Amino acid sequence: MRLYRIDYPKILWGIVLLSLPFAMPRAAEAEPTRKETARQVGLALSQADAPTRQEAVKKQLAAFSELSRLTAREAAMVSVLEKEYKRAYSAYEKAQQALEETEKKKIYASLQSGDEAVMAPLEKEASHREKILTDASVRLALIKRRLEPARSQLAALTARRDGVLDEMAGLVSPKKAPSGVLPPASTDAAILKEGKNLAEAPSVPTETLTDLPRKQAEYAEELADLGYYEEKRAQDLAVLETPEPAVDLSKRFKIDGELRIDNNDTSNHHAVDPERKRIQFPDDRLRLRARIYMDYNLDNNWHAIGMLESEKALHGDDSMNGTIDLDRYYLKGAVGKVMVMAGAFGKTLAEGNIYDSRFKGIQVAYGDHHPWYYEGAFGKVNEADEVTALTAIYQKGEHKLSLGAYGFRMDGGNNRNIGMLGYEMPLGGWWRVGAQYLLGHDETEPGGSGGVFSLSRGEENSWEKGNLYTYAKYYYQPRATYVEHTMNGVADYMHGFKGYGLGLSYTLTRDWVLSLEYDDLEDLQYGTRSRTLWAGLSYYFKNYGNEEPEDQDKTEGTK
């Protein structure tokens, strides 16, 4: 008979409870030991990985630095090429336009007479223009050929550089360059050591040639080591340094001249100016005039230009005593796309309806009338000690719109401000019609609105036998709308005027031109009237070829 019963569950629970005080302290003491071990393991791993990681960072920094350098150099090349392309394109357009104008002259000459004496110099001129256009075309194509790949290369280098920067910042995972895309560097290095061009190497598989800009950026460091960029830079410089067509030293100095005899008959010689208390209109005059235009080409851009003038009155105006004056002297050249003139040069404003005479100062012009042309001038003239002139022209085909704002501080201290709006268009196949609106203000002279309406046919020139230019104009101009008028009539002696003018210019034979002008005008303020008949015979000469004369400073109309 058992005196007691063994209770196993209770015994087990007792063992568990008795073991808790011993187990809990030991678990708490084990945790710091594990953390310390983890720290030691992490430190060991960091120390073991440090050289590898530092080396990787150094490589990334070197790659980023090299890509930044290459990107900066490529950006500079693109910038220079873009500027050169704009210059080359402008020269190309001008050469093309010049050739078109020459071809038009040939067509007109063949329609009018077909005279060999006229056609021969035009053929020579066309040949000269064709050569200039060919040179401009070649230069434009060469620069364009370098510009487009340079743009693609710049974009690819920029993307590659930014990618390396993102890898360094941990924004993206590092990417390994694909293997087997380009030939081994050792092969290219061997080719270069032999003194050969990489282009002479065995052809690369077709799949390698796809997306070349990206691959070029991807292998930028290796290509730099191989000398590719130095070779490319030499090629780019060769394109940029393509010389402009040289100017024959014997043709740097050009001379154009004009000898003219003219006669001016004016009616109503006894009319008295009520304000000035003197005879209002000038006496009749018979005059000899000689002008020599000199142009020295300094550097194929800047020109030093001058004009000698002498006038001798055979009848009338005794102030013309035959002395020789240096009437024009100035520099002319391009600064970028801006044409600059500085010195004393001829200047017309509003086709001479506001001003046509000598201008001392500076003028800047931009554009080639395709479609816009802008011009600004600041200086002085005989009647005003300060002049500001701004003009804008929009031309599309045979239609032309002109805008102008002109300010004169006259010698008497008064200000004369004139605004101009003009429009020209073809009428039929031979004629041109034009209109100008003028608005003038001067506190000392009658002001208000005025206008000029014109009908013309042809253009003046001295090298085509039988060339005819004619015009008819109607004027209504208060005195505040002009300063020195282009006409041979007596507008400058009136207090504003209205009336009409007729004129023609006919080329008798090459370099001999007969001109006629008739003006019938009435003073707007006092009603006095005067009629003028002017006639002139001019002979033109030059020291170069038989081609059309270059654009010369021959303003002042027929005055």
Give the per-residue pLDDT at 183. 42
Q: Which helix (H) or strand (E) holds 109?
A: helix 8-112
> What is the rounded CA–CA span in Å between residue 219 and residue 229?
12
Q: Cα dist. 50→37, 39, 56 in Å?
A: 20, 16, 10
Highest mean pLDDT among 7-16, 63-72, 103-112, 286-295: 286-295
Which CATH architecture best describes the domain 253-542? Answer: Beta Barrel (2.40)
Q: What is the mean pLDDT of residues 269-297?
A: 88
Is the Cα dihedral 107, 112, 116, 120 positive or negative?
Answer: negative
- Of the given ranges (85-94, 234-243, 399-408, 441-450), which has the lowest mean pLDDT? 234-243
Contact 346, 357 (CB under 8 A): yes
Tokens representing 436 are 């100008």
Give the per-residue pLDDT at 224. 64
Geometric angle at alpha carbon 508, from 504 and 512, rounded to 5°? 95
> What is the rounded CA–CA span in Å between residue 281 and residue 294?
35
Q: Indicate whether this model's pTM tops 0.75.
A: no
φ/ψ (deg, to 5) at 347:
-145, 130
Give the per-residue pLDDT at 503. 97
Q: What is the mean pLDDT of residues 360-379?
A: 93
> Checking DSSP bridges between strand 272-273 and strand 303-315, what pairing results, if any?
unpaired
Q: Confidence class of residue 379 from pLDDT cuts 50, 70 and 90?
A: very high
Q: What is the mean pLDDT of residues 538-549?
A: 75
Give the per-residue pLDDT at 541. 93
Question: Which of 44-59 are b and which e, b meaning 16 or more Cβ less than 10 Å from the residue's Cβ?
Answer: eeeeeeeeeeeeeeee
Whether the predicted pLDDT of 552 surpasses 60: no
Percentage of the chain surpassing pLDDT 90?
41
Q: What is the mean pLDDT of residues 145-162?
A: 85
Geometric angle at alpha carbon 434, from 281 and 461, rounded to 5°? 75
Residue 401: strand, helix, or coil: strand
pLDDT higher at 527 or 273: 527
Would you call 409 exposed, middle or buried from its count of C-beta atoms within 10 A (0-12, 13-18, 19+)? middle
Whether the predicted pLDDT of 5 surpasses 60: no
Give the per-residue pLDDT at 187. 46
pLDDT higher at 170 or 85: 85
Give the per-residue pLDDT at 417. 97
Contact 67, 220 (CB under 8 A): yes
> What is the rounded CA–CA span in Å between residue 329 and residue 333?
14
pLDDT higher at 51 or 290: 290
Kindly list the domain boundaries of the chain, sorted by start residue: 53-171, 253-542
Whether the predicted pLDDT of 273 surpasses 90: no
Whether the predicted pLDDT of 437 surpasses 60: yes
Contact 500, 518 (CB under 8 A): no
Give the per-residue pLDDT at 414. 92
> What is the rounded CA–CA span in Å between residue 106 and residue 121?
10
> What is the rounded CA–CA span in Å between residue 202 and residue 24?
78
Whether the predicted pLDDT of 513 surpasses 60: yes
Q: Cα dist. 505→145, 461, 502 in Å?
A: 49, 9, 11
Whether the predicted pLDDT of 230 surpasses 70: no
Q: Which among 17, 158, 88 is positioned nearest to 337, based on CA atoms?
A: 88
- Of the given ranges (119-133, 215-229, 285-299, 393-407), which has the lowest mean pLDDT? 215-229
Mean pLDDT of all residues in the chain? 80
Q: What is the mean pLDDT of residues 475-500?
A: 95
pLDDT digits 0-9 by tens, 185-201: 344 444 444 544 444 44
Q: Which among 268, 310, 320, 312 is positioned nearest to 290, based on CA atoms?
A: 310
Q: Confidence class of residue 127 from pLDDT cuts 50, 70 and 90?
A: confident
pLDDT higher at 165 or 205: 165
Q: What is the mean pLDDT of residues 499-510?
A: 96
pLDDT higher at 316 or 234: 316
pLDDT digits 0-9 by tens, 287-343: 999 999 999 999 889 999 999 999 999 988 767 788 999 999 999 999 988 999 999
Q: Cα dist. 457→109, 429, 431 in Å?
A: 16, 10, 5
pLDDT higher at 191 or 361: 361
Q: Confidence class of residue 502 from pLDDT cuts 50, 70 and 90?
A: very high
pLDDT higher at 153 or 455: 455
Tokens representing 281 are 């209109």
Give the per-residue pLDDT at 193. 43
Report the CATH number of the 53-171 domain: 1.20.120
Residue recorded with tokens 């629970």: 13
Q: Cα dist. 168→59, 214, 287 in Å?
A: 10, 20, 86
DSSP string, 421-468: EEEEEEETTTEEEEEEEEEEEETTS--EEEEEEEEEES---SSSTT-E
173: left (phi > 0), else alpha (psi -120 to 50), else beta?
beta
Whether the predicted pLDDT of 159 surpasses 70: yes
Q: How far is residue 475 CA from its own chain's centroid?
A: 36
Give Cβ neighbours of residue 420 (< 8 Å, ≥ 6 apart). 349, 350, 354, 402, 403, 404, 405, 406, 436, 437, 438, 439
Q: Confidence class of residue 178 from pLDDT cuts 50, 70 and 90?
A: very low
Q: Confidence class of residue 255 from pLDDT cuts 50, 70 and 90?
A: very high
Highest mean pLDDT among 123-127, 128-132, 489-493: 489-493
> What is the rounded CA–CA span in Å between residue 76 and residue 70?
10
